[in-house]
Amino acid sequence: MTKIIGIGNTLVDVLIHLQDEKLLQQLCLPKGGMIHVDRSGVERLRQQLAGLPSERATGGSAANTIHALAVLGNTTGLIGAVGDDEPGQFFTAHCLARGIQAHLAVIPGEQTGIAHTLMTPDHERTFATYLGAAVQLGVALKEVNLKEYDLLHIEGYLLQDQLQLAEILRTAKDAGLTVSYDLASWNIVRDHHDTITELIRDYVDIAFANEEEAAAFSGQEDPEVALRLLASMTDIAVVKVGKRGALAMSRATGDEIFFAPGIPTKAVDTTAAGDFFAAGFLHGLTHGKSLKTCLDYGNHTAAEVVQVMGTQVAPEQLRQCLSDIKE
């Protein structure tokens, strides 16, 4: 069985429901995007959000994908860093409960990273993230033998430290791993376009982008343009087009574009939809499924997570959603 390891910002998500977009404007948060806040900024944010309905769950893009892959029965690991505090214990306990090999450094004197996920009534998510201990994941990376794994899934949010991200990718390729990369956020793609292009071209085998990230990457609104551009740099490229579904191209199949329609469902919270899509897709890919079936797997797992708040899909429900899909 393929062993999959993820690396990314290990965060605790605090999901907050807004009645309108006014607070986003007051806080100067770009709707649908992600910004980083420092330790004092996160305290101010907590004061502004006090009293609003909220829920807590494990978070971090790559971590969400690894959690879902573990539920689907894959052998998984996760590299990250948490603080020596209750949120860090909360995060670690959830990893262990899923059977994930948790390569998590505990950083004394630092707080576990927190991702404030602000949900507007249209189910759009805006992130204000305090990375805290998460930025010190290099401490954990030094203790991991990547050669024990076959595939590395990495999140584009790690571009906050470009040198470290490049070193991680080089190390993974030197160890013989297949590298799967999620572009993460449209504003990250916009702000780091040249760096992302270089990293994808040099190190990435499988690239995931949503429609907004694809447009930021290619400079064109047509998702097929970005798909072909990504496919020219990687072995497999995937562009998700929201509720309409997803497209993929593979170097092995030439110029053919594969498409799988989305799964009609009532979205409650779109948090981690892309992360769960990646889990479904990679689960299919590592089990020898066709590219079209991998897209179907991704659409189904994404459809499951948007029906619940946060990422806490019932394990049996997540596994069941793939059982009826035929090649």
Q: Which two tokens stand for residue 276?
A: 């769960």
pLDDT at 285: 97
- Return per-residue pLDDT of the chain as tens, 327 residues: 799 999 999 999 888 888 888 888 887 788 887 788 888 888 888 888 888 888 888 999 999 999 999 999 999 999 999 999 999 999 999 999 999 999 999 999 999 999 888 888 887 878 888 999 999 998 998 889 999 999 999 999 898 788 888 989 999 999 999 999 999 888 899 999 999 999 999 999 999 999 999 999 999 999 999 999 999 999 999 999 999 999 999 998 889 999 999 999 888 777 789 999 999 999 999 999 999 999 999 999 999 998 887 788 889 999 999 987 877
Look up the CATH number of the domain holding residue 258.
3.40.1190.20
Phi-psi category of 174—alpha, beta or left, where left has phi over 0 and alpha has psi -120 to 50?
Answer: alpha
pLDDT at residue 152 in the model? 98
pLDDT value, residue 42: 81
Name residue 117's beta-bridge partners: 15, 127
Q: What pLDDT does 44 receive?
A: 82
Q: Is 174 exposed, middle or buried (0-12, 13-18, 19+ CB in 10 A)?
A: exposed
Range of the structural domain that residue 292 is part of: 3-323
The predicted model scores a pTM of 0.90
Amino acid at site 67: H
Q: Smallest Cα–Cα separation from 150: which of 282, 14, 23? A: 282
pLDDT at site 117 = 85
Helix then strand count (H, E) for the chain reads 13, 14
Per the structure, the count of domains in the chain is: 1
- H or E stretch covering 42: helix 39-49
